[in-house]
Copies of this chain bind each other. A is one copy, B any other.
């Protein structure tokens, strides 16, 4: 497994990062372009807070973990200044999107904008310890915890009382975000938050009877036989497992790490498309047609997060089954998502058969994040084997 480290490092530093350095910087208005063609041309100039914040986090992380290059710090600040100036409404909640100049387009209906903003400013504070960055990260995190049980606020369209549900995404993100912010929040606070979200992820959303991690369960943690209740998102669940492994390592909790490995395989083996290879995007736990028309597509982040989860598991236990699955997912991912013709960032969206289906390197939901983060994580993880 160790030999993969150099491959992932090379792809990160010589292909993917240069693509974003060369094509994504908006030197006129600040922030980043994320809607980029395969050659790196900008096809849309809107700025989505998820992606702005994730790119800030990514370059701050490179600066911290790879090399203290001044350019990387400047790229970090290009996005951070833009976010600081334009990203929040009067309540300090983060908009969903802005236009090129930073004027707000879409209201703060989506709490994950806040999650990625907190993650960005938390990491920025580590490489540039200005108090204002810590303040933004901490205040945003406080807002997230306050909003966590009603994250959509007035934009929530469900009628209260009829079918109260809870969603997997926020507890799952909090597993990672809390750890990311540990330098700012302190160890006790992180333990308090993560004990709760670990329990949610591993007990409430995990359905022991079927072995599936459900995307939505009732307010009391029960399976609900509806479109939302039957929904599976294998990539989402697998990504959560490497967050849980990091928490298991932090707690020195071998049982938790072992359980995460078990759940990882339950989702991966079920999500793997035996016919065409790759991992399906959405499934219905009872095998009914999902409402998501894109359910059988193959998405970049699903595969990259799976590689991270498998690399972490392998480093922990050197289980040959893990190595075997790593090779299988690696082979599919590198042969289908990489852009052999143009190099640079990878493609993101394939149809079920594995053909490129959206001819883009970045868009409204794909920016400088999953590919470089996974390349970095796998490189750094397997290097230690």
Inter-chain CA distance A46–B291, complex, in Å, is: 13
Q: How far is the CA of A303 from the CA of B159 in the complex (A)?
A: 35
Chain A contact residues: over half helix, strand or loop, or mixed? Answer: loop
Interface digits, A8-32 against B, CB 8 Å rule (1 contact, 0 not)?
0000000000000000000000000
Pairwise interchain contact B105-A349, C-beta atoms closer than 8 A: no
* One of B35, B154, B163 near A105 (C-beta < 8 A): B163
The smallest beta-carbon distance between A47 and chain B, in angstroms, is: 12
**For A359, what are the chain B residues with a Cβ–Cβ distance below 8 Å?**
289
* B residues less than 8 Å from A44 (CB atoms): 225-227, 288
Closest 3 CB pairs of A and B: A293-B294, A289-B358, A104-B159
- In the complex, the answer to whether A363 meets B291 with C-beta atoms within 8 Å is yes
Residues in A250-303 with C-beta less than 8 Å from chain B: 286, 288-291, 293-294, 296-297
Contact A104 B227 (CB under 8 A): no
Task: Determine if A363 and B289 form an interchain contact, defined as CB atoms under 8 angstroms apart.
Answer: yes
Query: Which one of A35, A43, A293 has the greatest number of beta carbons of chain B within 10 Å?
Result: A293
**Known contacts A46-B226, A46-B227, A351-B352; A159/B293 CB under 8 A:** no
Docked pose: A296 CA to B43 CA in angstroms: 19
Residues of B within 8 A of A155 (CB): 155, 157
A105 near B293: Cβ-Cβ < 8 Å: no
**Interface assignment of A85: CB less than 8 Å from any CB of chain B:** no
User: Is the CB of A360 closer than 8 A to any CB of chain B?
Assistant: yes
B288 touching A293, Cβ below 8 Å: no
Question: Can you identify 16 A-B contacts, CB atoms within 8 angstroms?
Answer: A44-B225, A44-B226, A46-B226, A99-B162, A105-B159, A105-B162, A105-B163, A107-B157, A109-B157, A289-B358, A291-B363, A291-B365, A293-B297, A293-B357, A293-B358, A351-B352
* Other 14 A-B pairs with CB < 8 A, given A96-B157, A99-B163: A44-B288, A46-B227, A99-B162, A103-B162, A106-B158, A106-B159, A109-B157, A155-B157, A290-B358, A291-B365, A293-B293, A293-B297, A293-B358, A351-B352
Counting contact residues on chain A (CB < 8 A from B), the size range is 35 or more
A327 an interface residue at 8 Å Cβ cutoff?
A: no
The answer to whether A380 has its CB under 8 Å from any CB of chain B is: no
In the bound complex, how far is the Cα of B336 from the Cα of A334, in angstroms?
34
Chain B residues, CB < 8 A from A46: 226-227
**A104 CA to B109 CA, complexed, in Å:** 22
Instruction: Specify which chain B residues have a CB less than 8 angstroms from the CB of A226 in the assembled complex.
Output: 44, 46
Cα A96 to Cα B159 in complex, Å, equals 10
Name A299's closest neighbour in chain B (CB-CB). Answer: B293
Query: Are A95 and B358 in touch, CB under 8 angstroms?
Result: no
